[in-house]
Amino acid sequence: MLSERARAISASATVELSARVAEFRRKGVDVISLNIGEPDFGVPDAAKRAAVDAVKNDFSKYTAVDGILELREAICAKLRGDNHVEYGAGEICVSVGAKQAVMNSLLAVCSKGDEVILPVPCWASYMEMICLADATPVFVKTDDAQGYALDLDAIRRAITDRTKAIIINTPNNPSGAVYSEASLRGLAEIAVEHDLYVIADEIYEKLVYDGERHFSIASISKDVRDKCILINGFSKAYAMPGWRVGYSAGPKDVIKASKAIQSHMTSATCSISQKAALAALIGPQEELCEMVAEYDRRRQYMMKRMRTLGGMRCEMPKGTFYLLPDSSAYVGKAWGEKVIESSMDLANYLLEKGHIAVVPGEAFHIASKLRVSYSNSMENLVAGMDRMEEALNALR
């Protein structure tokens, strides 16, 4: 029999959906993907050149478990310049994506029975990772009337003597919320008062719009910094999800433990990818600026279309490349004999009838919403929204 751990875990809903889309495509159905969680842009040229050079130069040995020193130093410079927080190279652990950086952090700080607070909606993997670390996820709501802002009172109420950490993700997948500096200062006070770690996943930090500014909670003070584990990576800002480079920055003891854990799991991430990530970080940033401008254009277009749908209530998100419309107006409507009873049913209907893939809110611990990604070409977004409109209008 499989372990209790293996029996308890569910596969990622977003990965399963991608497999269903692939199955439709294999059967010749042209599905438009509005479920995508990765940039549809190319890798920066500097990163490509650095990878080719690394291959030619046989840069192919194991590297230090926590990453090559030049990359860790460049990350420190980035954190100082962009996020106004000081770290030394010994306080950085480069990992196999931000995903491993989150998992390392949880394994480093959680013991059996500890509780980890998770504001929802949130990325699907956090809950499973907390359980894999033998801890218990404690969900707290965010304020959806205020663009899914942190609800500090709800967080305070959720704290018990077993609470070990809170995971925040700003800009947020799936809500697109960008947490305000004031709310992060409030959260920092709570964390210091109750001696909680804040695992702050900032992987979407560059994807912000309308003059919004990403604020890093670790920059507040030395005391706060000592309770924070910052998570970031190259999958979103540099369109390098397949290259698998992410990192954590945090207190020395947490990073040392993360490094030890990683040394027995994967060792360092790919040596070639590390060279590419270094070049992306220190190279020209024009491609990133162009990508953000294009996402903004798509965001405006998608919102315009959402608003004409009538049944979808959708706030303008300030960050990421997702919309999170409320689709509850379609619950109770029918498609032939079949009644739509949840956003899961609606997403299935849109896939089967409209040939568009969106992710049901249930995957992010929020019912009655759909996550719609605009990480696709403008041409596909136009066609996708046409299909969505037609399919939704066909519901009775």
* Contact positions vs ligand PLP (CB under 6 A): 37, 97-99, 123, 169, 173, 201, 203, 233, 235, 241, 246
Nearer to ligand PLP, 209 or 349 (CB): 209
> Shortest Cβ distance from residue 284 to ligand PLP (Å)?
22
Give the Cα separation of 41 and 203 in Å (integer): 16
> Shortest Cβ distance from residue 174 to ligand PLP (Å)?
8
> Shortest Cβ distance from residue 240 to ligand PLP (Å)?
9
Nearer to ligand PLP, 246 or 360 (CB): 246
CA neighbor of 90 nearest in space, from 107, 71, 72, 102: 72
User: Which H or E element spans position 247?
Assistant: strand 246-249
> Shortest Cβ distance from residue 299 to ligand PLP (Å)?
17
Nearer to ligand PLP, 209 or 321 (CB): 321
Instruction: Tell me, rounded to whole angstroms, the distance of Cα 249 from its chain centroid.
Output: 17
Q: Record the tokens describing residue 60, joined without a space.
A: 């192919």
Nearer to ligand PLP, 98 or 140 (CB): 98
CA neighbor of 172 nearest in space, from 228, 224, 236: 236
Q: Record the tokens describing residue 94, joined without a space.
A: 């480069």
Give the Cα separation of 337 and 339 in Å (integer): 7
> Shortest Cβ distance from residue 72 to ligand PLP (Å)?
16
> Shortest Cβ distance from residue 96 to ligand PLP (Å)?
7
Nearer to ligand PLP, 105 or 392 (CB): 105
CA neighbor of 245 nearest in space, from 214, 206, 288, 276: 276
Q: What is the CA radius of gyration of the chain?
A: 21
Neighbours of 273 (CB within 10 A): 24
> Shortest Cβ distance from residue 329 to ligand PLP (Å)?
27
Q: Record the tokens describing residue 303, joined without a space.
A: 């919102």
Residue whose pair of structure tokens reads 């540099």 in the numeric block: 238
> Shortest Cβ distance from residue 170 to ligand PLP (Å)?
10
Neighbours of 352 (CB within 10 A): 14
SS3 336: coil
Say which DSSP state 235 is in: T
Nearer to ligand PLP, 299 or 355 (CB): 299
Residues in the chain: 396
Give the Cα separation of 363 and 324 in Å (integer): 12
Neighbours of 116 (CB within 10 A): 26
Nearer to ligand PLP, 97 or 319 (CB): 97
> Shortest Cβ distance from residue 58 to ligand PLP (Å)?
26
> Shortest Cβ distance from residue 177 to ligand PLP (Å)?
12
Residue with nearest beta carbon to ligand PLP: 97
Q: Record the tokens describing residue 300, joined without a space.
A: 């405006």
Q: What phi and psi, each to the nearest 5 degrees, are found at residue 201?
A: -85, 110
> Shortest Cβ distance from residue 66 to ligand PLP (Å)?
16
Nearer to ligand PLP, 216 or 355 (CB): 216
Q: For the chain, what is the largest distance between any 2 Cα atoms, rounded to a whole number of angstroms?
A: 63
Nearer to ligand PLP, 262 or 392 (CB): 262
Asked whether the beta carbons of 222 and 250 are under 8 A apart, the reply is: no
Nearer to ligand PLP, 14 or 63 (CB): 14
Give the Cα separation of 207 and 221 in Å (integer): 25
Nearer to ligand PLP, 39 or 354 (CB): 39
Say which DSSP state 328 is in: G
